[in-house]
Structure 1
Amino acid sequence: MTLLAPIRLVFFAMILVFVGSAPGIAQKLGPDGAPNPTASVTSERELLRQFPRAEGRIDIPDTKASVLIQPAGRTWDYFHEVLLRWGGGMVILGMIAILGAAYLIMGRLRITAGRSGRKIVRFKAFERFSHWLTAVSFVVLGLTGLNITFGKILLLPVIGADAFSSVSQVAKYVHNFTSFSFVAGLVLIIVIFFKDNIPEKVDLEWLKQGGGFIKNKHAPAGRFNPGEKAVYWLSLAAGVFVSVSGFVLLFPFFGTDIADMQIAQAVHAIIAVLFVALILGHIYIGTLGMEGAFEAMGTGEVDLNWAKEHHDVWLARKLASEGRQGEASSTPAE
């Protein structure tokens, strides 16, 4: 009997321990007795606060492969899936709304004196080639890039998952390879038009007259007015940013880590959306917004009266260089 007494004490102690821990065990088991994966004494948020970056041990040289959880990725995902969609949508649709309102209120800016029937060369063939190389590349990049942000909510429900997958895969490759032609065109644009976009004294008078809208007269301008120069410099800056960030994404983890790639993608997306809005304004003015403007990049020649009304200083210089000074004053510009 003396030997059984200690055994009974141990047995009853084990029963008490089991009964005390039963509620915790019940929490970790589901109704059917199977383990409950969602039950935890410590919440996931609390664990991530204590250990913000979970890593494992690997045998390969690529240390990035050891990262199991990176909470910063959730921030990036929220930016890409929510903030970028709403922000980008408002910027692009807002620009379209502004341009639509401008057309309804002001209509198309006509050549006040009417067409003279005489032409003058504004852009040479190679200048137009450089412009259209950049422009076509930009449109392709814009459409294929916007598919990444808005495709799942706009295109996927219309064409279905299989077709959307095929379209997106093709768009990805087209986007990647078109980037090279865009950069080539951008470099040509910078070299060819750089000197004509340097601010000069006549730009101050153009600004004082509000581009001709305030005093209802044609403000003087050189080859490019301050508005066009602003588009040039903003496009140059945006082009450099999207190109650099794009090549970082095109060659992932080439001297970068996950955080760097996330920053590059955010910069690329934000600048690209603003770039699209800027070029929408540029396209509007060059097509619907102003009579005779598209001809400059279409055929390379513009009507003499159009040149007098919008770029009179440039016209006078060009005619003087060609020995045709008399043509500049043969028809009034306003």
Structure 2
Amino acid sequence: MNFKSLRSLFALLVLPLVLTSVLAAGLGMSTTAYAADGQTSQQMANAKTSDADLWRAVKAGDSGYTTAQGVEANVLINIAGNQGKDIKNNYLTPAMAFAVLGVFGAFLAFYFVNGPSKLSKGFSGKMVLRWTKADLWIHWVLALSCLGLIFTGLTIMLGKHVLQPYVAEGIWAAMIYGSKTIHDYVGPIFMAAWVLCVVKWMPMQTFKMYDLKWFLVVGGYINFGPFKGKHPDSGFANAGEKMWFWTLTVFGLFICVSGIMLVLPGLDLPREASMAALLIHAISAIIIIAFTIVHIWMATVLSEGGMECMKSGYCDENWAVQHHNLWYDEIKENGSLEYKD
């Protein structure tokens, strides 16, 4: 066998081995690459699942860990805060707008249809003492501070819907900052006057059986139909005034307590407590606003001679007989009837 034959035989034997090794190496590398790719995909899937679980827990309000100090520092998103914000924006803000526009509009329509409640015998010219100087001071401090809180509160709650779109940014910033500042500083004045009002006037505000008739005939304010000229019995305070007093007493208490919780950051309250205070504050404000509008209408426009009571402390004798006959009979009988000089 010559050299060329041996070389050809060697080539025929080695070439399959080389090709087999190359194929085996290629397959091994492919398998390793596929395994690496599979591991990377699994890690990415696990990472995505881990991130999703993390943010799902965050959105659910679960606690984490932080070095920050304070109440609920470990909670990134507070569920109660978001839910309370939705309740305020979706329900309480429209309710406050309705309390202002709806109640005011209803009484305006009633006034145009019915007119004021006139004194059936006209003015007598004799003025009877009804409120002391102390009562007048309490009333007007309470009234003015209440109105201040109402107007600034309406700006805070409704201003972004009815004012902000129509004024410059600088003007709006000054308005909202001023409203918040005034609201915070007028609050204590309202609280003090509210306490004096409740303590001093509560004995005169107990409901009696005859108050039911006052509601049945709408206080004698109707000038048409079967209720025309019906003037129900009433003591020093009529049933409507008593309802206003107890509304102010109960919801004024809610206003005061929730206001203190909101305005004192040093209390360091949980978010749930702060949001509950905000919602209670808003609900109480809506009720007080509605009753305040009713009270102002009834005491001024709808009652001829009614406003004089809170200007001088005296009321016309015929007004006393028509609107508070039981009180007038009582002071006349016990000798405490006092006329203005």
TM range (shorter): 0.7 to 0.9
**TM-superposition CA deviations, 1:55-87 (whole Å, max 9, x none):** 442224314233212233222222222222222
* Superposed CA offset, 1:139-186 (max 9, x none): 011111111211111111222222111221121111111111101111
Alignment partner, residue 93 of structure 1: 101
Q: Name the counterpart of 1:8.
A: 26
Q: Report the alpha carbon displacement of residue 317 of structure 1 after superposing the two structures with TM.
A: 1.8
Between 266-275 and 312-321, the greater mean CA deviation after superposition: 312-321
Match of 1:236 in 2: 249
Q: 1:278 to 1:204 in 2, by over 3 A?
A: closer
Structure-2-length-normalised TM-score: 0.81
Out of 285, 289, 301, the position equivalent to 2:302 is 289
Task: Supply the distance in 2 between the matched residues of 1:45 and 1:116 (Cα, whole angstroms).
Answer: 80
Q: Is the partner of 2:261 in helix, strand or coil?
A: helix
Residues 128 and 23 of structure 1: CA distance in aligned 2, closer, same or farther (over 3 Å) = same
Tell me, which stretches of 5 or more residues in structure 2 are unaligned? Answer: 1-17
How big is the shift at 1:4?
6.5
174, 187, 195: which is aligned to 1:166?
A: 174
Q: Which amino acid aligns with 2:256?
A: S
Give the secondary-structure state (helix, strand or coil) at the position aligned to 1:120. strand
| TM-score normalized by the length of structure 1 | 0.83
How many angstroms apart in 2 are the aligned matches of 1:323 and 1:75?
A: 57
TM-aligned CA deviation for residue 22 of structure 1? 11
Structure 2 contact 234–325 (Cα < 8 Å) conserved: yes
Matched, 1:180 2:196: no
Distance of 1:228 and 1:266 partners within structure 2 = 27
Per-residue deviation, 1:301: 0.9
What is the CA distance between 1:199 and its match in structure 2?
Answer: 2.1
> Which of 130, 143, 147 is 1:139 aligned to?
147
Distance 1:166 1:60 in 2: 33
**Residue 308 in 1 paired to residue 316 in 2?**
no
For this pair of structures, how many residues does the alignment match?
315
Distance 1:50 1:246 in 2: 30
Question: 1:215 Cα deviation (Å)?
Answer: 6.5
Contact 2:78 2:271 in 1 (8 A): no
- Structure 2 counterpart SS, 1:302: strand
Whether contact under 8 Å (1:202, 1:222) holds in the other structure is: no
Amino acid at match of 2:243: A
Cα distance between partner residues in 2 of 1:228 and 1:277: 14
AA in 2 matched with 1:242: I
Q: Judging changes above 3 Å, is the alpha-carbon distance between structure 1 residues 7 and 256 closer, same or farther for their aligned structure 2 residues?
A: farther
The 8 Å contact of residues 71 and 270 in structure 2, kept in 1 or not, is answered as no
Deviation readout 1:284-329 (Å, 9 max, x if unpaired): 011111111111111111111111100111112223333769x9xx
1:201 to partner: Cα distance: 4.7
Distance apart, 1:136 and its partner CA: 0.5
1:324/1:290 CA distance change after superposition, 3 Å = closer
Distance 2:295 2:258 in 1: 24
1:322 paired to 2:335: yes
Matches within 5 A, 1:61-80: 61-80=69-88
Partner Cα distance (2:66, 2:186) in 1? 37
1:13 CA drift (Å)? 3.5
- The 1:201/1:76 distance shift into structure 2, 3 A limit, reads closer
* Greater displacement, 274-283 / 59-68: 59-68
**Counterpart position of 2:261:** 248
Is the contact made by 2:58 and 2:76 (CA closer than 8 Å) also made in structure 1?
no
1:193 Cα deviation (Å)? 0.9
The percentage of counterpart residues that share the same residue type is 26
Match of 2:290 in 1: 277
1:266 aligns with 2:279: yes
Output the aligned Cα RMSD: 3.3
- For residues 209-265 of structure 1, give each alpha carbon's deviation from its aligned partner in whole angstroms, at most 9, with x where no partner exists: 553353632212110111111111111111011111111111246263001111110
Q: Which runs of 5+ in 1 are unaligned?
A: 26-39, 328-334
Q: Tell me, in whole angstroms, the C-alpha distance in 1 between the residues paired with 2:336 and 2:191.
A: 38
Deviates more, 1:59-68 or 1:136-145: 59-68
Match of 1:216 among 229, 253, 259: 229
Contact 2:71/2:268 (CA < 8 Å) preserved in 1?
Answer: no
State whether residues 48 and 71 of structure 1, in contact with CA within 8 Å, keep that contact through their aligned partners in structure 2.
no
In 2 relative to 1, CA 48–119 (structure 1 residues): closer, same or farther, beyond 3 Å?
same
Q: Distance in 1 between matches of 2:91 and 2:207?
A: 37
Kindly provide the amino acid, as one letter, of the partner of residue 167 in structure 2: I
With 177-186 and 51-60 compared, the bigger mean Cα shift is at 51-60
- Aligned partner of residue 267 in structure 2, secondary structure: coil
Q: Which residue of 1 aligns with 2:11?
A: none
Distance (Å, rounded) in 2 between the aligned partners of 1:56 and 1:50:
8
